[in-house]
């Protein structure tokens, strides 16, 4: 949960000052034996829940992008956040989706979003 400026920390950087929205998703990954049987009943094996954070960044300055870009470009990130489902701070390793910055004028850009997906299931 995004409850204060320091409630989302990525690679040791407090991200709260750079974001305008944080979406916390808890997607379930099901095994290949999953689906509905002929009676319509859901069956199968739940592999796990793999948390995903989708962060909406505000327009960033060049200096701020110099701080954020290496985090987004790295193959893995360590994120600490408050997980409302667990009622505690959680630290997880993630990978990111693609990200892009749109410039509207010289040295002026729009906000953008990026997904951070856990590499391991939530315990």
- Please tell me the predicted confidence (pLDDT) of residue 4: 61
Pairing of strands 46-49, 42-43: unpaired
CA distance 117 to 75: 12
Residue 109 backbone dihedrals phi, psi, to 5 degrees: -130, 165
Domain ranges of the chain: 8-118
Q: Which CATH number is 8-118's, of 1.10.3470, 2.40.30, 3.30.70, 1.20.1070?
A: 2.40.30
- Please tell me the predicted confidence (pLDDT) of residue 2: 60
Q: Going residue by residue through the chain, which has 123 residues, state the pLDDT in tens, using 9 for 90 and above.
A: 566 667 799 999 999 999 999 998 999 999 999 998 888 998 999 999 999 999 999 999 989 999 999 999 999 999 999 887 788 888 999 999 899 988 887 777 899 999 999 999 987
Helix (H) or strand (E) holding 96: strand 88-96
Token pair 């193959």 is found at 75
Residue 64 backbone dihedrals phi, psi, to 5 degrees: -70, -40
């Amino acid at each position: 949960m995004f409850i204060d400026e320091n409630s989302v920390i990525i690679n040791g950087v407090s991200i709260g000052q750079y974001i305008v929205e944080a979406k916390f998703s808890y997607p379930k990954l099901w095994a290949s034996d999953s689906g509905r049987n002929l009676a319509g009943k859901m069956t199968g094996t739940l592999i796990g829940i793999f948390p995903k954070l989708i962060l909406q960044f505000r327009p960033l300055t060049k200096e701020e992008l110099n701080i954020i870009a290496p985090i987004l470009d790295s193959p893995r990130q360590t994120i600490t956040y408050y997980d409302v489902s667990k009622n505690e701070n959680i630290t997880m390793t993630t990978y990111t989706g693609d990200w892009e910055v749109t410039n509207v004028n010289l040295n002026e850009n729009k906000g953008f979003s990026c997904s951070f997906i856990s590499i391991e299931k939530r315990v």
